[in-house]
Chain A
Amino acid sequence: MPEPKAGYDRATRRLWPLLAAPGVLWLIAFFLVPFYAVMAVAFSGTIDIFGEPIPAWNPLDWQFGTFTGVVSDSVSGTFQAVWTRTALYSFWALLICVAIGYPVAYYTARLAGRRRGLILALILAPWWINYITRMLAWVNLLQDDGYVNNFLRLFGVTPISWLSGNSFTVVVALAYGYLPFFIIPLFASLDRIDQRLLEASRDLGIGPIRTFLHVTLPLSRMGLITALVITALPMAGDYYTNTLVSGSPNTNMVGNQIELFLLQGPLKNLGASLVLLLSLLLLVFMAYYLVLTQRASRDAR
């Protein structure tokens, strides 16, 4: 390989930061600044006449009483149930995503052949319709005298009230809402698996199930984790799905609690504290994910 010229080298060194500049500016304007604002509200020590916190822009004025109060109430207290529900609902919804999404992605990537484009289009088609509209469709299906209950009645099942604080409905709605986010990255990863590795496995006399377990699954591991992360992040902060299909305190997730504090009253310091706490938790998961991808790309080299 020929040595690059010194001038070229310097130019590229200047070029890369320049190319990164828009992204960096974007991050500063739309992530760092708002995040700082959230901190200024969460750590505010003063409230105005409406009971609303006055943002403490100067870090020297920060008071952590509200935040630590929210943390301790999240561990054991008022918000414990909210966090437990968020974790459980996300877990079950992700499980449904894996159960449905993995076979679909696998089929599309490996077996669909010529119909693959069509199937991908069908997976993405719901995205053409507004999320809230799709959720309202569920409301129509599941309401007390809706299609689902009418169908069940044919078999003599007493109508179930799906929409009044039913955890099952919330989990299903969450899984439904975020399934496409799950399938697409997984499909990309499965699609990239070298066909020859599977042929080699078969040539060595290994059956399809063991091939899947020992070749396909390990090779798609990173794709699976990416899909889980991409789906889990918005699920953890989701509130409108829940509002539409339940709206009961019985199924309130942390997103609903944040919405209550930030949009429906003056206790914004509590809401901001919950936002920070949620961000911190998700940051831990993100960090773990980054470590995994780093390790995977190192192994690949």
Chain B
Amino acid sequence: MPRRIAADSGNQNIYGAALEFAGPYRSDSLNNQSIAHVHGGSDRLRVDREGIGMNFDPQDPSSRRPRQRPQLTRRDVLRGGLWLSAGIGVAPLLAACNKQTPAAQQDGGAPYPLARPDSPVTLPIKDSNSAIADGLEPETGGVFKILNYSDYMAPGVMKDFGAKHNVQVEVTPYNNYDQMLAKIREPGESFDLVFPGPSVLSKMVYTDLIQPLNHSYLPNLKNVWPEYQDPWYDRKAQYTTPYTVYTTGVAYRADRVSTVPEVGYDLLWDKEYAGKVYLLDDPGEAIGMSLLRNNITTDINTGDPELVQQATDKLIELIDLVNVKTTVSAYSLIPEGTATVHQCWSGDMIAGQYYLPKGETTDVLGYWLPSAETDRVIGNDVIAVPAAAAKPVLAHAMINDLLDNAISLKNFGWNGYQPPLNKLSPQYLIDQGYIPDNLMNTVVLPGDFKNGLTFYEVSPSTEALWRTSWASFKAGA
């Protein structure tokens, strides 16, 4: 058999994750040029990262279109020949070596470098997918289609924009990035603006789902925090501009929860609130939270099947314990009182004040996040223009609007998600009365990202692992 990195999973649930990335020394992979072979029914996760790296060359202009199978490059052939000459006998030995280096599993199978704050990535720009030319007039008329979380942009902002440019602004909502990717890739579908995050970015660039930005249309980019002028996931902000920053914590009804435990995640496991406990409908956030709460690991991007399984088992406990449900609507469920405890993003609770029924004050809202900065889950969302956008110039205009201090403030005043703009400093937002006193901890400071935990883009095998685990939770087993 060819060499493999075998990560023992020891569980039956993740056969979907049992990917095997065949290297080029395998004659069948040379012929089929398949990216990955799924061998279901197996309970092991086999990853051969070298092989995939060879099959995928991000620089290769011929592997441009989404879903196109990778082409055989000269390097592949050379390396393949090397491997053949090295002989298959050596392979198991090497596999055993690789198994011992955890770093090998980290980006196992990703055909592009995985961006990390300590290893920033400059996303490639291809001739075939270049930015729009300078000095074009924004398109007018028809529909401007946005792919976004629901209630993530103020209707007033969209209305103004529509009136200004004589277009009808339309939002197609999704609950998580998996859904977003499914929608943006739907054949025949084209959106003008999309709001991804760093954890799915390289993949979207690699498959030409988004186009490079032309900064000449984005004078307001200077308004954003310095780190986002040149972020680690997209050096020089070639494809994205930041949209919002947020932490992940636990929202609760302060009038029903008498004492908040030191580890606020425990509220989710509290039988007292059974039937009114909600998780974020997001595999990463939910399983990641379980990893932290149950002291399994602080690596919320782990590819270790054992650890992910432990975290998932703990989530499955919640089904019988508190009849848990999953949504991304904490901003309405907590104020309405439908939920007593809801894992949520910080912006949800700032927005929550606008969803309170008549007669209730913001005192009923509560937000908990870990006291130690190093335990906090922190993230940011970005704005990008899909490659298939029908109105790319107008899309640039909207991005520039969203980075405008006044428009951004209006947007924040509705969706509650803090934009990382210099002028809209936390103190300014507090002074302006946007953030109630009891929700001060929802504010994100620029320095928080240095110590916090962030979801990164991970290898396909790790993604598959998290997804199948999430599916087993959803099955309510």
Residues of A within 8 A of B (CB): 44-54, 63-70, 72-73, 77-82, 85, 144, 161, 164-165, 247-252, 256-257, 260-261, 263-267, 269-270
B67, A46: Cβ atoms closer than 8 Å: no
B window 200-250: CB within 8 A of A: 203, 206-207
A-B CB contact pairs (8 Å), 5 listed:
A44-B38, A54-B34, A65-B41, A73-B15, A269-B16
Stretch at the interface among B118-126, B298-306, B398-406, B465-473: B465-473
Q: Is B259 an interface residue (CB 8 A)?
A: no
| Contact A46 to B179, CB < 8 A, known contacts A68-B40, A257-B475 | no
A267, B471: Cβ atoms closer than 8 Å: yes
B35, A164: Cβ atoms closer than 8 Å: no
> What's the Cα separation between A82 and B276 when bound, in Å?
22
Q: Mark B100-124, 1 if CB is under 8 A from A, else 0.
A: 0000000000010000000000000
A50, B476: Cβ atoms closer than 8 Å: no
A50, B325: Cβ atoms closer than 8 Å: no
> What's the Cα separation between A69 and B41 when bound, in Å?
4
| Contact A65 to B42, CB < 8 A, known contacts A54-B67, A73-B15, A252-B475 | yes
Closest residue on chain A to residue B34 by CB atoms: A46
Which chain B residues border A82 with CB–CB below 8 Å?
Answer: 475-477
> What's the Cα separation between A263 and B66 when bound, in Å?
19
A48, B35: Cβ atoms closer than 8 Å: yes
Contact for B325 among A54, A81, A85, A165, CB less than 8 A: A165
Closest residue on chain B to residue A67 by CB atoms: B40
Residues of B within 8 A of A (CB): 12-13, 15-16, 18-19, 32, 34-42, 56, 66-67, 69, 111, 175-176, 178-179, 181-182, 185, 203, 206-207, 275-276, 319-320, 323-327, 337-338, 460, 463-464, 467-468, 471-477
Chain A to chain B: the 8 pairs with minimum beta-carbon distance, closest first: A65-B40, A66-B40, A249-B476, A69-B15, A69-B40, A265-B178, A69-B41, A46-B34
| Contact A263 to B12, CB < 8 A, known contacts A81-B476, A248-B325 | no
> What's the Cα separation between A49 and B109 when bound, in Å?
9
B471, A47: Cβ atoms closer than 8 Å: no
Which chain A residues border B12 with CB–CB below 8 Å?
Answer: 72-73, 77-78
Besides A54-B34, A265-B178, 9 more A-B contacts (Cβ < 8 Å) are A46-B36, A48-B66, A66-B41, A78-B12, A161-B276, A165-B325, A249-B319, A252-B474, A270-B471
A49, B325: Cβ atoms closer than 8 Å: no
B38, A53: Cβ atoms closer than 8 Å: yes
Instruction: Determine which residue in A47, A66, A247, A256 has the highest number of CB atoms from chain B within 10 A of its CB, and name it.
Output: A47
Contact for A50 among B37, B176, B203, CB less than 8 A: B203
Closest residue on chain A to residue B52 by CB atoms: A49
A45, B38: Cβ atoms closer than 8 Å: yes
B35, A266: Cβ atoms closer than 8 Å: no
Instruction: Determine which residue in B182, B467, B474 has the highest number of CB atoms from chain A within 10 A of its CB, and name it.
Output: B474
A249, B474: Cβ atoms closer than 8 Å: yes
Which chain A residues border B324 with CB–CB below 8 Å?
Answer: 248-250
CB distance from B49 to the nearest CB of A (A): 14
Contact for A51 among B15, B40, B460, B472, CB less than 8 A: B460
Which chain A residues border B185 with CB–CB below 8 Å?
Answer: 50
| Contact A266 to B41, CB < 8 A, known contacts A49-B207, A77-B12, A250-B319 | no
Contact for A47 among B35, B182, B337, CB less than 8 A: B35
| Contact A266 to B275, CB < 8 A, known contacts A46-B36, A47-B19, A251-B476 | no
A260, B474: Cβ atoms closer than 8 Å: yes
B34, A79: Cβ atoms closer than 8 Å: no
Instruction: Determine which residue in B66, B175, B185, B319 has the highest number of CB atoms from chain A within 10 A of its CB, and name it.
Output: B319
CB distance from A279 to the nearest CB of B (A): 19
CB distance from A64 to the nearest CB of B (A): 8
Which chain A residues border B41 with CB–CB below 8 Å?
Answer: 65-66, 68-69, 72
Which chain B residues border A249 with CB–CB below 8 Å?
Answer: 319, 324-326, 473-476
CB distance from A271 to the nearest CB of B (A): 9
B182, A263: Cβ atoms closer than 8 Å: yes
Which chain A residues border B32 with CB–CB below 8 Å?
Answer: 46
Which chain A residues border B477 with CB–CB below 8 Å?
Answer: 77-82
Which chain B residues border A263 with CB–CB below 8 Å?
Answer: 179, 182
Contact for A63 among B38, B179, B326, CB less than 8 A: B38
Which chain A residues border B39 with CB–CB below 8 Å?
Answer: 45, 63, 65
CB distance from B61 to the nearest CB of A (A): 17
| Contact A51 to B13, CB < 8 A, known contacts A46-B32, A46-B37, A269-B38 | no
